[in-house]
Structure 1
Amino acid sequence: MTTFALPRPSLLSPRVVVGTAALAAVVALWSAFALSTRALDGVGLTMADAAVVRFAVPGLLLVPWIPRTLRILRTERPAVVALVLLAGLPHFLIFAWGAHLTSAALTGLLVPGTVPLFVAVLLFLRHRAAVSRRRLLALGAIVAGIAAAAALTGDTASVGGVAVLVGAGFVWAVYTLGLARTRLDPLGVIVIVSLSSTLAAVALIVTGVMPSHLLAGTADLASLGTYALVQGIGTGLLSTACYVVAVKNLGSSITATAGALSPVLTALVAVPLLHEPLTAGLAVALALIVTGVIVFTLAPRRAARPLDAASVSPAAPNRG
Structure 2
Amino acid sequence: MSASVALPVTAQPPLRPAADATPQHAAWAGYAALAVTVLIWAGFFLSLRAGARAHLAPSELAAIRFAPAGLAFLPVLWLRRRRIAAVPWPLLLSILAGSGLPYFLIAGLGMRHAPVVDGSTLIPGTIPLFVALLGALVYRQPLPAGRGGALAAIAAGVAVLLAFNHGAGEVWRGYALFLLGSLMWANFTVALRRSGLAPIEGAALISTGSLALLAPWLLLHPPIGLAALPAAELWFHGLVQGVGVGFVASLTYAFAIARLGAQRPAAAGALTPVLAGLLAVPLFGEIPSAATLLGMALIVAGVVWVHRSH
Query: In 1, distance between residues paired with 2:22 and 2:89?
Result: 46
Q: Give the superposition deviation at 1:219.
A: 4.8
Q: Which runs of 5+ in 1 are unaligned?
A: 1-8, 301-320
| Cα distance in 2, alignment partners of residues 215 and 265 from structure 1 | 28
Q: State the aligned residue count.
A: 289
2:190 to 173, 177, 180: 177
Q: Residue 244 of structure 2 is aligned with which of 217, 220, 234?
A: 234
5+ long unaligned stretches in structure 2 = 1-19
Aligned to 1:57, which of 68, 74, 87? 68
- The 3 A distance-change label for structure 1 pair 203 and 192 is same
Match of 1:14 among 20, 25, 50: 25
Q: Please point out which of 284, 289, 298 is paired with 2:294.
A: 284
**Inter-partner Cα distance in structure 1 for 2:203 and 2:224:** 24
Over aligned residue pairs, what C-alpha RMSD do you find? 2.2
| 37, 40, 54: which one aligns with 2:51 | 40
**Native 8 Å contact 1:59 1:195 kept in 2:** yes
Q: Normalized against structure 1, the TM-score is what? A: 0.84
Q: Which has the larger radius of gyration?
A: 2
Contact 1:44 1:219 in 2 (8 A): no
Deviation at 1:64, TM superposition (A): 3.5
TM-score normalised by structure 2 residue count: 0.86
Instruction: Indicate the SS of the match to 2:288.
Output: coil
Matched, 1:299 2:309: yes
Give the match for residue 151 of structure 1. Answer: 163
**Amino acid in the other structure paired with 1:70:** R
Query: Are residues 269 and 218 of structure 1, via their aligned partners in 2, closer, same or farther at CA, if it must alter by over 3 Å?
Result: closer
Post-superposition offset of 1:12 = 7.4
Q: Is the 8 A contact 1:69 1:192 kept in 2?
A: no
Alpha-carbon contact 2:33-2:253 (below 8 Å) kept:
yes
Matched residues in 2 for 1:266 and 1:11: separation? 33
Structure 1 residue 91, shift from structure 2 partner: 0.5
Deviates more, 1:176-185 or 1:257-266: 176-185
Is 1:266 aligned with 2:279? no
Contact conserved, 1:98 with 1:164, CA < 8 A, in 2?
yes
- The C-alpha deviation readout for 1:176-203, integer Å capped at 9, x for no partner, is 1110022432122122211221222232
1:248 aligned partner, one-letter code: A
* Correspondence for 2:208: 195
Residue 116 of structure 1 corresponds to which residue in structure 2? 128
